[in-house]
Copies of this chain bind each other. A is one copy, B any other.
Amino acid sequence: MATTPQTNQPSPELIFDTLNAYQRTAALRGAIELDLFTAIGEGAATAADLAGKLKVPQRGARILCDYLVVIGLLTKQGARYGLTPDSAVFLDRRSPACVASAMTFLNSPELTNYFRDIAAVVRKGGAVLNAEGTMAPDDPIWVEFARAMAPMMAMPAEFIADLVGAGSGKVLDIAAGHGLFGIAIARRNPNARIVALDWPAVLEVATENAQRAGVADRHTTIPGSAFDADYGSGYDVVLLTNFLHHFDPPTCEKLLRKVHAALNPGGTAVTLEFVPNEDRVSPPAAAAFSLMMLGSTTAGDAYTFSELDRMFRNAGFSGSQAHALAGPEKVIVSRK
C-alpha cells in the first residue's frame, strides 16, 4: 500500500480551495478590522502576545494568523509571526502607504452584492442589480470609493505626477473621485491648475483633499457626468484614471473625442487602467479585473493595450505608450 499519492494525479484541491476562497477575503477583512497587522508591526509576535494586545482568545489569534501565513500576508518562524514586505507597507496603519481602508470600498455590500449570482450575470451579460450597474447617475458607491481608495492610488498618483512633470499646465481630472491624481500634479508643479470633474457628492471629497494638500486655490470643479458636462478647453493634460473600463469601446471613443477636442495641440491624455495582455488571461490581477466589470457594469471591460490604442486613434490621438507600475495597473499616455 503506497503511503504517498502519485504525482500529477488530478486532485480536487484547487476546486476545494476556490469554493472556500471567500474565506480569504473574510480573513483579511477581519484582520484589518482587528488591526492585527499594526499589532504585529508594533512587536506582538506570538499568538499569546496578540491575544493580550488585541484582547481576544489565543485560539482566535493563532488560527487567523496561521491562515494569513497560508495566504501569504504574514510570515511565521517557529511560533513568531511577522509582516511580509507587502503587509508592512500596505496593511500596518502606521505606514503612510497603508491601503487598509480600500477594504471599506472593495468589500462594501454595495459592490460585493453584484457578485452574488454570477450565473445570472453571465446570462444577462452584465450587472443584474440595476439597469446601469454602478454607472447610474450619482451612485453613492463613488463617494465610498473616493474616501476608501485614495491610499491605494497614492503610488500611481505620484508616478503620473512624475510622468507629466512640467508639461502640466491646465489639467482636467475626469471622474476625479478622491482627486489625488490632479492634486499630486498640483503639488509637484506650482503652475498646474486642476479642474476636477465628478458627481457633486464625490467632488466634496476631492475638494477636501485639495484643501488638505494646500492646493485648493488651483483646484476647481465641474459637477456632473463626463459625457454631458462642458469641459471648457485649453487643457495640457486630461486624466482618465480608472474610468474607461466602465464602458464599451464606442462609448469610450465618444468620450475620447470630447477629450481630444478639449486638449491643446501636443497635449496628452493620461489613462490609468487594468490592462491585460493580448491573451486576456495575464497578468492575473489585470485580467481578473474583467470580471469586476462584467459583474458591476452593463458593458465595461479590462481592455488590452491594442484595444485602448485603437480607441485613442479612432478618437484622433496620434498614438499611445504604456508604462508599467508596481501595482496591478498601467499608465497609458496618448498624444494629441
A-side interface residues toward B, CB under 8 Å? 1, 3-6, 8-31, 33-34, 54-64, 66-67, 69-73, 76, 85-91, 97, 99, 102-103, 106-107, 112, 115-119, 121-126, 152, 155, 162-163, 279-282, 284-285, 287-288, 290-295, 299, 301, 321-328
Nearest CB on B from A142, distance (A): 18
Q: Is the CB of B23 within 8 A of A115?
A: yes
Q: Which of A1, A20, A116, A301 has the most CB of B within 10 A?
A: A20
Chain B hits for A88, CB < 8 A: 10
Cα separation A215 to B279 with both chains bound (whole Å): 52
Q: Is the CB of A24 within 8 A of B26?
A: no
* Complex A-B: 5 CB contacts under 8 Å: A16-B152, A21-B25, A22-B22, A29-B119, A69-B287
Cα separation A213 to B81 with both chains bound (whole Å): 49
Of B66, B86, B280, the contact of A290 (CB 8 Å cutoff): B66
Of B63, B284, B301, the contact of A294 (CB 8 Å cutoff): B63
Q: Assembly of this chain: how many copies?
A: 2
Chain B hits for A34, CB < 8 A: 119, 122-123
Whose C-beta in chain B lies nearest to the C-beta of A88? B10
Of B1, B29, B72, the contact of A162 (CB 8 Å cutoff): B1
Q: Which of A19, A56, A280, A325 has the most CB of B within 10 A?
A: A19
Known: A11-B326, A326-B5. A285 touches B30 (CB 8 A): no
Q: Is the CB of A19 within 8 A of B327?
A: no
Cα separation A58 to B299 with both chains bound (whole Å): 12
Q: Is the CB of A56 within 8 A of B122?
A: yes
Whose C-beta in chain B lies nearest to the C-beta of A5? B326
Whose C-beta in chain B lies nearest to the C-beta of A59? B125
Q: Is the CB of A60 within 8 A of B288?
A: no
Cα separation A184 to B281 with both chains bound (whole Å): 41
Of B8, B29, B323, the contact of A1 (CB 8 Å cutoff): B323
Chain B hits for A71, CB < 8 A: 18, 288
Q: Is the CB of B125 within 8 A of A19?
A: no
Chain B hits for A102, CB < 8 A: 12, 15-16, 19
Q: Is the CB of B281 within 8 A of A4?
A: no
Of B1, B63, B72, B324, the contact of A291 (CB 8 Å cutoff): B63
Q: Is the CB of B163 within 8 A of A86?
A: no
Whose C-beta in chain B lies nearest to the C-beta of A95? B10
Q: Is the CB of A290 within 8 A of B5?
A: no
Chain B hits for A28, CB < 8 A: 15, 18-19
